[in-house]
Amino acid sequence: MDPLSSVLALLKPRNYLSAGLDAGGDWSIQFPDQQQCIKTGAVVSGQCWMSLEGSEKPIFLQAGDCFLLPHARPFRLASDLALPPTDAVSVFSAPRNGNIAVHNGGGDFLLASNRFGLAGNHASILLRALPPFIHVRDQIGQASLRFAIERMMQELTDPQPGSVLVIDHLAHMMLVQALRLHLADSAGTGIGWLAGLADRQVSKAINAIHGDPAHRWSLRELAAAAGMSRSSFAEKFRQTVGAPAMEYTAQWRMLLAADRLQNGREPISVIAPSLGYESEAAFSTAFKKIMGSSPRQYAHNQPPVFAVPPMPGNVAPKHNEGLINAA
């Protein structure tokens, strides 16, 4: 499994909500803190401004633009940011057209969006590696997302048998494609796990680690996979990813182990050798060092809150309040 797929599999992104917003005339809507989630959005028609908390400059969105919000910050969408905002609660409490919330008569601006919840204990692995806002506005990137967006709008406007499943798959397609486009555009920028994937040489080593986490990787082997000398690779990996290669390898193994301990029934005697450890004792020592508790504590109790190391870097809701976070 490639690294992006393996991290998303670990984080288990679940599309909790998909919805649309149809706004008309002069309008401004304030959206609350989105909690721990990733949101994707696509402007189907019209244009608007987005003001994201913590960002100095507003962002102009127009038809065809897609965006990704990984950090759950409050934000505002508006035809004019000088207008006093309407709280999203009132907008999404009003009657809807299918799964489309209509504001101020609609007709001028149409948005499709999805909200993904992430596995709580691992969410910051991906979120730390992403900027607060990803904007897809080049024509090639938009074209690669057009089918999913258009099909989703059809399902939201006129739900058919199986719409929940169709929209769920389309939402995941949009999420993965947005991340792919970000990787293609971010080569040489930023520090973190995704920055490593964007680098042609470092990504080869990351692919090797994720492809066989049980292998006892040496720095020399990873450097060879990257096609670099040992010393050059060690420095480039550390600068790009934000952690030494062997530390990254150990951290990834422990995150895999934590997921299996939390969500499976495998004993430590099975997990340890499957991740390259000769003994349970060696595995337990490494696990406690990185995850902050022993494997048995992690497996049998509510996992403690710990600082993640710097490694990587339903369609319509059943109540109106839920839909607020979807648009």
Same domain, yes or no, for 21 and 160?
yes
Predicted confidence at residue 326, as pLDDT, reads 41
Same domain, yes or no, for 146 and 209?
no
The pTM (predicted TM-score) of the whole model is 0.78
In a domain, 58, yes or no: yes
Predicted confidence at residue 7, as pLDDT, reads 87
Residue with tokens 């919840």: 117
Residues 6+ apart with CB under 8 A from 70: 38, 126, 127, 130, 131, 132, 134
Same domain, yes or no, for 160 and 61?
yes
In a domain, 308, yes or no: no
pLDDT (tens digit, 0 to 9) for every residue of the chain, 327 residues total?
889 998 888 888 888 888 899 999 999 999 987 667 888 999 999 999 999 998 889 999 999 999 998 877 899 999 999 999 999 888 887 767 678 999 999 999 999 999 898 876 667 766 777 788 888 887 777 888 889 999 999 999 888 899 999 999 999 999 999 888 888 877 656 778 888 998 999 999 999 999 999 999 999 999 999 999 999 999 999 999 999 999 999 999 999 999 899 888 889 999 999 999 999 999 999 999 998 899 998 887 644 333 333 333 333 333 333 333 444
> Looking at residue 158, which CATH number applies to its domain?
2.60.120.10
**Burial of residue 272, with CB atoms counted within 10 A of its CB: 0-12 exposed, 13-18 middle, 19 or more buried:** buried
Predicted confidence at residue 324, as pLDDT, reads 37
In whole angstroms, give the CA distance from residue 265 to residue 243: 31
Domain range enclosing 296: 193-300
Same domain, yes or no, for 99 and 147?
yes
Same domain, yes or no, for 16 and 117?
yes
In whole angstroms, give the CA distance from residue 95 to residue 212: 52
Same domain, yes or no, for 214 and 114?
no
Q: Sign of dihedral through CA atoms 207, 213, 214, 219?
A: positive
Which of 294, 194, 193 minimizes the C-alpha distance to 247? 193
Predicted confidence at residue 75, as pLDDT, reads 94
Report the length, in residues, of the chain: 327
